[in-house]
Amino acid sequence: MDEQLSGPYSFWHHTHRFEAKGRCTRIIDEIRYLLPFGPLGRLVHTLVVRRQIEGIFAHRRRVIIEEFPDTSHLSLL
């Protein structure tokens, strides 16, 4: 679990779960966060933050695939 104690978010809580199903391992991330500044924060989320977060997880996905080339048994959610 990752929690932001100080930083740009009003709230950030990120949990990692791993589920084994036969030969498969499912990686599940749950992220709950809140930006400050009300409507302005929501606008910044739409224009910038959402893409940044998606980029972070796309990068992690690429790294996992590089480190574990046989990902036929891996599911990233």
- Write out 32-68 in H/E/C secondary structure: EEECCCHHHHHHHHHHHHHHHHHHHHHHHHHHHHHHC
Per-residue pLDDT at 74 exceeds 80: no
Q: What is the pLDDT of residue 24?
A: 77
DSSP structural state of residue 9: -
Please provide the distance, in angstroms rounded to a whole number, between the alpha carbons at the two ends of the chain. 16
DSSP structural state of residue 5: S
Confidence of residue 21 (pLDDT cuts 50, 70, 90): confident
CA distance 66 to 60: 10
